[in-house]
């Protein structure tokens, strides 16, 4: 008897599995003090929420995302059509990935920025994410449930639908997006990190946004910094050695807010 799991179920649960595995890897790297953007002491003292609460919040959001994903796959009936078992061309996959990345970036930039500029939304919703003044990997999806639904769940659904990808392709796209999001919140600047080489929007870029001086800048997530650059909300940074050891992301010296 053969046992098989549908692409829809894999597309729903693989990114969740990837989130915790990848976060666990960074949790082990967290002892590398020389590569931390904040000290362990600052992480414990400055953050306004316990790690247990963060884990519970992330699990709740992932539950909502899984429910929405199952409903989306069911309603759309997106089984990839009669050629679902055939391999799509590399160019088709690349086009779908690029379109999905642009859609997700665009949606999240404008929703994220609006949540900062609308005092009610920031105070009652988005400020929950900023309780993590010192970000860490498994806190990447720690948000208010409404924000999780608006930014991540709806943004993901739009990128899936408008890019035309199949559930099978979505397994890889959302796993990649999950890895990138976790990396952006890991609080580490590790040598040779491919995300730091390929993307200007990275852990240091997003760390600036989590600091008091950067809350009106660096809204872009999770892939590129295009909208920040176009709309004047881009704050460049420099990586400097921190007193007492480790590293720090600071606004570039030639930057004028």
Give tens-digit pLDDT for 133-172.
999 999 999 999 999 999 999 999 999 999 999 999 999 9
Q: What is the structure's pLDDT at 256?
A: 53
Q: Is residue 46 part of a domain?
A: yes
Say whether pTM exceeds 0.85. Answer: yes
Give tens-digit pLDDT for 14-40.
999 999 999 999 988 777 889 999 999
Q: Is residue 189 part of a domain?
A: yes
Q: Is residue 18 part of a domain?
A: yes
Q: Is residue 27 part of a domain?
A: yes
Q: How many CA atoms lie within 13 A of 58 on its CB side?
A: 22
Per the structure, the count of domains in the chain is: 1
Would you place residue 85 in the very low, low, confident or very high pLDDT band (cuts 50, 70, 90)? low
Q: Is residue 83 part of a domain?
A: no
Q: Is residue 85 part of a domain?
A: no
Q: Is residue 86 part of a domain?
A: no
Q: Is residue 24 part of a domain?
A: yes
- Tokens 């979505």, located at residue: 170
Residues near 182 by beta carbon (within 8 Å), at least 6 away in sequence: 19, 22, 23, 26, 137, 138, 140
Give tens-digit pLDDT for 57-73.
999 999 999 999 999 88
User: Where is pLDDT greater, at 244 or 66?
Assistant: 66
Residues 218-228, mean pLDDT to the nearest whole number: 97
Q: What is the structure's pLDDT at 255?
A: 63
Angstrom distance (rounded) from CA 173 to CA 61: 19
Q: Which domain holds residue 153?
A: 7-74+92-255
Angstrom distance (rounded) from CA 185 to CA 30: 12
Give tens-digit pLDDT for 169-216.
999 999 999 999 999 999 999 999 999 999 999 999 999 999 999 999
How many C-beta atoms lie closer than 10 Å to residue 257's C-beta?
A: 8
Angstrom distance (rounded) from CA 146 to CA 205: 25
How many C-beta atoms lie closer than 10 Å to residue 119's C-beta?
A: 8
**8 A C-beta contact, residue 11 and residue 174:** yes
**Residue 36 DSSP one-character state:** B
Average pLDDT of the residues of the chain: 91
């Amino acid at each position: 008897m053969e046992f098989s799991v549908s692409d829809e179920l894999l597309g729903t649960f693989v990114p969740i599995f990837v989130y915790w595995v990848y976060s666990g890897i960074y949790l082990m790297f967290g002892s590398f003090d020389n590569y931390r953007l904040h000290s362990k002491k600052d992480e414990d003292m400055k953050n306004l929420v316990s790690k247990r609460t963060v884990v519970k919040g992330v699990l709740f959001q992932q539950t909502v995302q899984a429910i929405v994903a199952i409903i989306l796959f069911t309603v759309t009936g997106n089984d990839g059509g009669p050629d679902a078992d055939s391999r799509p061309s590399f160019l088709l996959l690349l086009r779908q990935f690029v379109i999905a990345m642009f859609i997700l970036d665009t949606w999240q930039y404008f929703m994220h920025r609006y949540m900062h500029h609308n005092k009610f939304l920031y105070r009652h919703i988005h400020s929950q994410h900023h309780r993590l003044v010192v970000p860490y990997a498994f806190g990447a999806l720690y948000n208010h449930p409404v924000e999780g639904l608006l930014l991540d769940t709806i943004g993901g659904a739009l990128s899936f639908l408008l890019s035309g990808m199949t559930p099978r392709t979505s397994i890889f796209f959302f796993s990649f997006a999950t890895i990138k999001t976790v990396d952006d919140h890991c609080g580490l600047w590790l040598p040779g990190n491919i995300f730091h080489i390929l993307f200007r929007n990275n852990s240091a870029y997003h760390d600036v946004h989590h600091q008091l001086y950067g809350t009106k800048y660096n809204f872009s997530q999770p892939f590129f910094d295009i909208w920040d650059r176009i709309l004047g909300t881009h704050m460049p940074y420099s990586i400097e050695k921190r007193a007492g050891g480790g590293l720090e992301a600071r606004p570039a010296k030639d930057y004028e807010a």
